[in-house]
Chain A
Amino acid sequence: MIPIVAYLIVAAVLFCIGTAGVLICRNIIVMFMSIELMLNAANLVLIAFSRALNITDGQVFVFLVLTVAAAEAAVGLAMVITLYRNRETVNIDRFNIMKW
């Protein structure tokens, strides 16, 4: 049996890689994928605790998080397409329309 802490550490590593990706990458699509990575790390924690406490509620939460992630990806990628149409770039530094 593998202790639950091992899964939590894997999730923490994945979450931090996602954070680093959002901070470092300039490509807006890669930033999106890093956000998906962070959501998945949270999902792994939910699944791990669902197993540890033997409660199914955690898996239902994961189900809902997956739905929200799908909605977020659809809207976000539509925004990327619109931005690309106006700016012809995916570099996040050039999307400073709302900066004052």
Chain B
Amino acid sequence: MSLDVVVFFVSAIVAVFGATMVIIQRNTVASVLYLIVSLVAQAVLYVQLGSLFMGAVLIIVYAGAIMVLFLFVIMLLNLRGREDLADHSPPVSRFTKYLVSVLLFIEMWFIVKSGFFPNTVGGGIMAEQQGTFGSVEDIATILFTRYLYPFELTSVLIMAAIVGAVVMAKRDRSDSSPSVRTRGDKPARTTGDEAGN
């Protein structure tokens, strides 16, 4: 068994394990951390496939920035797992949800195994690299020439997302007093906690 196979199996198992724990975990902070584990394992797979730059970007942007955003929100909402988040749908419906996922996987399995895809070429550290494939230079050349227009469009998308996020998460001043009054009808849990402290 060569080094490539060992690296592939270890990172594939870690990626799948982390992904499974994300949806099994009750604690939301723990599931964010498991997702980071899964992403790092996927970055190893990227590197194995020769795309070094995208592996680095996956760790920096995804595991570093987006997951921290998730952690921020979880800590902002102060979730402590007190809420009952169990699935209370009837057993038939719950069974159907699992069945759909398994059927989807079987479907994909048959597509992958159909022999439509090239089976001979593959990844690996030992696999011979062709020139500068996957380097920053290679990606930048194609990104700023052929894909310049989509690249500029993503900057517009990011701008729209920033404005949208700020507008949505902002507390509306003119609207805040009625919402406080309606919330006062229910037992105000957060206010009680603050008074207790």
Contacts and interface: CB of A to CB of B under 8 A. Distances in A.
Interface of A: 1-10, 12-21, 23-27, 29-30, 32-34, 36-37, 40, 43-44, 47-48, 50-54, 56-57, 59-60, 62-64, 66-75, 77-82, 84-86, 88-91, 93
B1 to A, nearest CB: 11
Given A4-B117, A13-B105, A30-B23, A68 B157 contact: yes
B158 to A, nearest CB: 6
B37 interface: no
Interface in B125-179: 126-127, 130, 133-134, 138-139, 142-143, 146-147, 150-151, 154, 157-158, 160-162, 164-166, 168-169, 171, 179
B91 to A, nearest CB: 13
Given A30-B22, A33-B32, A3 B4 contact: no
A96 to B, nearest CB: 14
Given A75-B168, A82-B169, A36 B157 contact: no
A16 B8 contact: no
- Tell me if B's interface is mostly helix, strand, loop or mixed: helix
Contact of B53 (A51, A59, A79): A59
What is the size category of the interface that chain B forms with chain A? 35 or more
Interface in B1-60: 4-5, 8, 12, 15-16, 19-20, 22-23, 25, 28, 31-32, 35, 38-39, 42, 45-46, 48-51, 53-54, 57-58
A10 B69 contact: no
Contact of A33 (B31, B83, B165): B31
Contacts of B70: 29, 32-33, 73, 77
A17 B101 CA distance: 7
A94 B49 CA distance: 43
